[in-house]
Structure 1
Amino acid sequence: MKQGECAALAGAAACAAALGLAHYAAKIEPERLVLTRPRLAKRPPVKTVFFTDLHLGPMYPPAHLEQVVNAINAEQPELVLFGGDFFAHFLQDVHALPFSWIAAQLRRIRAPLGKFAVLGNHDVRQGARPFFELLFTEGGFTVLWDQIARPCPEIAVCGLAPYSGGEVMRQLPAGCWRVTLCHMPDKCRYLPLKASDLVLAGHSHAGQVRLPVITRMILPPGGKLYPYGLYRPQGRGAGQLFVSRGIGMSGVPFRFLAPPELVVLE
């Protein structure tokens, strides 16, 4: 085979591989909802499911919510927590969001001890906050805005507002499992983590496309220091942080080596 023919074949193979990867990242991986079970230093007394960052809109249509709800219910959790960014770009997408159907799907989530949610940065932009609160309240969730809830004597749930300084965490009671919902993980540098056993966050999507160098460049502000996984931002004397990859997409309609996930704590 001549050198020119070899080069042409190599080019064609490279093009085919690139197209295959693009198809996988756009069509296959975003549909691969997986379960993640982090190994916590202090485990919850009840089975808990955490989900975050749906970004409902053109890149992750509302119809996907049914699959997410089914996957949550299949785990039979006693407690369900949501970490924010339910919306993508509210004003652009509001005409395509079937609010009654979405609320009905949220109501289908079964959790005997309760369902709790906080807002993300996308949920307070463009006048989205009242719609988020109405949807989640109609869906049977308690929306926490710098507030603490006690679903049972063994558990305290603290929910932070998107740009909160976290002072409410100091009011978490001792002698129970204390979990804090904080949408942006990088805030854990200065939050009073000694008051909480675990902080659950999202926001970063693990970069959404996980590739050397590129991922660091595309991580969002507020999600650059702790992009994905289990951390101890303030050492062993303070609570752990778990950052989820989330479920939907933002920025680009791709996921690569960062499949959507539900987090199961048990």
Structure 2
Amino acid sequence: MKKVINFIFIIILIVFLAFIYAWLVEPNLLTVRYENINSNLLNENMDKLKILQFSDTHISSHFNENDLKKAVERINEEAPHIVVFTGDLIDEYNNYENKDNINKIWEILNTIKAPLGKYAVYGNHDYGGGAERIYEQIMENSGFILLKNEKVYLRNYNINIIGMDDSIFGDYNRETIIGMLDEDSCNIVLSHEPDVIDFLLEYDIDLFLSGHSHGGQVNLPFADSLPLLAKKYTRGLYSFNNYRQTNLYVNIGLGTSQIPMRFMAPPELTVLILIKGE
């Protein structure tokens, strides 16, 4: 009997420590992931181009302006040429307690330095409850170009940056996105949800950047915490053996949603280094 009681006590202790870790420790373990991406479509005179991706801040009382400021400071330490944000800025705008000081968010984001531009797309949390209107205002005041089924061409680098509207609540238009792809340019597509790439792999996409999954956020055996359109591609780099040799990167985000915990999915920034070559 005593062995059984000791065993139960140990299990309870492990569960308690795991809970404390997921609640207080892992959400603050900001990591930076580095990936090299080769492309023979980049201009000949280009050496290396550094793109930094961040996603899913879900600003709330659990990931506040101070947390955002720390992440931005880390972004600037990387000295990226381009910065992209792949959606879900505020967790629940209706319940956001600091609406009167919303300017603090854009003042922080405005300090991000990226000489070749800052680009963003809508996520599913950027719609509803007034979030759509305020998200556009925040990103524009932050110096981001908000791409809603639109593209920007960086002529000196022969790069297209194409932003898809959110695939769940937005006006995502597949044919419009396909029409923006240029066979002779390096095409980088920003999409909040990653799984939609399966409908685009036969087209001229070189790099597809997404978020939304949170990497599962809280990863427990036999528990599926992955959201719609992020169940197949959940985290990290995926390379496809299609004719374009498309790469997909799924960033697992900075903040949390539903519950203020992360387990086996620490918050991350992604640095993608584009290199001229096959």
**Same fold, judged at TM 0.5 (above):** yes
- 1:65 deviates by 0.5
Distance 2:192 2:211 in 1: 5
- 1:213 deviates by 2.3
Worse-matched range after superposition: 188-197 or 99-108 = 188-197
The amino acid of 1:67's aligned partner reads K
Distance 1:220 1:192 in 2: 21
Is residue 192 of structure 2 the alignment partner of residue 171 of structure 1?
no
Whether contact under 8 Å (1:117, 1:159) holds in the other structure is yes
Whether contact under 8 Å (1:170, 1:192) holds in the other structure is no
Equivalent of 1:231 in 213, 238, 249: 238
Query: Secondary structure of the equivalent of 1:108?
Result: coil
- 1:192 deviates by 5.4
Match of 1:79 in 2: 82
Query: Secondary structure of the equivalent of 2:208?
Result: strand
Query: Secondary structure of the equivalent of 1:37?
Result: strand
The amino acid of 1:231's aligned partner reads Y
Distance 1:42 1:207 in 2: 30
Is residue 24 of structure 2 the alignment partner of residue 18 of structure 1?
no
Whether contact under 8 Å (1:170, 1:195) holds in the other structure is no
Equivalent of 1:37 in 20, 34, 40: 34
The amino acid of 1:166's aligned partner reads R
The amino acid of 1:254's aligned partner reads M
Match of 2:72 in 1: 69
RMSD: 1.9
TM-score by length of 1: 0.91
The amino acid of 2:6's aligned partner reads L
Match of 1:181 in 2: 190
Q: 1:118 to 1:6 in 2, by over 3 A?
A: same
Match of 1:210 in 2: 219
How many residue pairs align between the two structures?
Answer: 260
Unaligned residue ranges in structure 2 (runs of 5+)? 43-47, 274-278
Q: 1:123 to 1:26 in 2, by over 3 A?
A: same
- State the structure with bigger RCO (CA 8 A, min sep 6), 1 or 2: 2
Deviations 1:42-65 (A, max 9, x none): 398411100000011133223211
- 1:177 deviates by 2.5
TM-score by length of 2: 0.87
Distance 2:102 2:202 in 1: 36
Alignment of 1:1-266 (within 5 A): 4-42=1-39, 45-93=48-96, 95-96=98-99, 98-154=101-157, 155-163=159-167, 164-167=172-175, 168-191=177-200, 194-214=203-223, 217-232=224-239, 235-238=241-244, 239-266=246-273
Where do 4+ consecutive residues of structure 1 move more than 6 Å?
none
- 1:152 deviates by 4.3
Worse-matched range after superposition: 118-127 or 4-13 = 4-13
Query: Secondary structure of the equivalent of 2:37?
Result: coil
Distance 1:22 1:41 in 2: 41
Q: Sequence identity of aligned pairs in percent?
A: 32
Q: Which has the higher helix share?
A: 1
The amino acid of 2:16's aligned partner reads L
Whether contact under 8 Å (1:169, 1:196) holds in the other structure is no
- 1:94 deviates by 5.2
